[in-house]
Amino acid sequence: MTKDYQRQKVYDWESSMKSYHKYNLPDMTTKECQKFATQLWNKYKNKFVRNYSKTFNYCSLVKVKKVNGYTSSMYRGLYFLKRKTKDGRECFYKKMHLSIVGHNKKVVIHEIAHALAPETSWHDDKFVGIVVYLYAKYLNYNLKYMVKTLNEKNIDFNFNFSKPLKRRIEAILKR
């Protein structure tokens, strides 16, 4: 199996969600995208997967840069802020590049899901589990419909790799 074996299938599935949910996502400014991405990062950064060490580094900011073209990306690393916390830990930030067409909540959620997923994850089952949860929570996408279409399109997804994610999915399904 290749490193990113279901990338195109995930992109196609995400595009198909627009027609069912009929949400017209308003464009956001770069600052609004940065604020939303930072909120998501700070709320979930260690909920699904341990993404950083609480004892050695502190990362509470996602910097968003507007780029040309049509592709957006989330960078895996932590970038040094050249300052320290009160208790002496280094401060870092995450980096996200958004194209002009990517300045909306759906793209920000997709990219932040990359940061929240395990480091070895690209568009695999764990990433899809996280992105499905975030779409249901923040875009009000229908979770049952998303799961049904993922199964129809043979896209791997997994909610069971993380107990907090599994609990949150079960809570949405009870509504």
Residue with tokens 């609004």: 32
pLDDT at residue 82, rounded to an integer: 84
Counting every residue, how long is the chain?
175
Whole-angstrom CA distances from 139 to 18, 22, 61 are 11, 11, 22
**Average pLDDT for consecutive 10-residue bins of the chain (175 residues)?**
82 87 81 95 84 69 91 84 83 90 92 89 92 93 93 93 87 81
Q: How far is residue 27's CA from residue 49's CA, in Å, rounded to a whole number?
A: 30
pLDDT at residue 174, rounded to an integer: 79
pLDDT at residue 27, rounded to an integer: 86
pLDDT at residue 129, rounded to an integer: 94
Nearest to 145 by CA among 48, 23, 25: 23
Each as own residue / partner, the long-range contacts of residues 67-72 (CB below 8 Å, 24 or more positions apart, any chain) are 67/97, 67/98, 67/99, 68/99, 68/100, 69/99, 70/99, 70/101, 70/102, 71/99, 71/102, 72/96, 72/97, 72/98, 72/99, 72/102, 72/107, 72/110, 72/111
pLDDT at residue 119, rounded to an integer: 81
Residue with tokens 């793209």: 107
